[in-house]
Chains A and B, each alone.
Chain A
Amino acid sequence: GNSVTQMEGPVTLSEEAFLTINCTYTATGYPSLFWYVQYPGEGLQLLLKATKADDKGSNKGFEATYRKETTSFHLEKGSVQVSDSAVYFCALSSNFGNEKLTFGTGTRLTIIP
């Protein structure tokens, strides 16, 4: 079956530090890959996505590249801000059209000024 493995948190960084949150996956076929973010007290929202190998998703300074050879979709940001403090979820969808997502366990990120 499908599965997503994320690096365990919590992760604490200083403002302006470089961020990497690792994500690897197991899936049949050619899944689409996603990063969702959950800010405190809110529901999840889509941060970025990639639908085929070598695609790079980007949004709000975050990037992730779909690497089929390493089955990975690591999230990166060059300079984090306090407002980036949130829980980040990696997810995949292997069925085109029904958007049934399989999520990772989530990584809590805290940025200190």
Chain B
Amino acid sequence: DVKVTQSSRYLVKRTGEKVFLECVQDMDHENMFWYRQDPGLGLRLIYFSYDVKMKEKGDIPEGYSVSREKKERFSLILESASTNQTSMYLCASSSRLVYTGELFFGEGSRLTVL
């Protein structure tokens, strides 16, 4: 069964802390994505990556950075967490070589910043 695994389901951090959200996929996918999900706003793309060490900004990259050192792993970094970054974060992956339009999502990481 294909799988996207996010390291933490629930996190509570304090304002100003550095936060790492980890995502691993086992499907050998080229594309990986980080979305943020908020009520009434749907999913908004933060960053995406087409390949190792490659990254591109999505629609709301401010306050975030990413790292992709290995094909299977895509990390989202909040350099200095703020309360307005309290949200559900969803990682997804897809194949670049075989276009189906299907993204495979992890279960999400719910982050609360106090």
Contacts and interface: CB of A to CB of B under 8 A. Distances in A.
Nearest to B30: A98
Contacts of A99: 31, 94, 96, 99, 101-103
A66 interface: no
Interface residues of B, number: 25
A49 B102 contact: yes
A89 to B, nearest CB: 6
Interface residues of A, number: 26
B61 to A, nearest CB: 13
A32 B33 CA distance: 18
A89 B107 contact: no
Which among B35, B101, B107 has the highest number of chain A CB atoms within 10 Å?
A: B101
B107 A41 contact: yes
Contact of A43 (B4, B40, B96): B4
Interface string A11-37: 000000000000000000000101010
B78 to A, nearest CB: 20
A110 to B, nearest CB: 15
Contact of B42 (A34, A96, A106): A106
Contacts of A97: 96, 99
B53 to A, nearest CB: 17
A100 B93 CA distance: 10
Lowest 10 A-B CB distances belong to which pairs?
A43-B105, A105-B42, A103-B43, A44-B105, A99-B94, A103-B42, A46-B102, A43-B107, A32-B101, A97-B99
Interface of A: 4, 6, 32, 34, 36, 41-46, 49, 51, 89, 93, 96-106
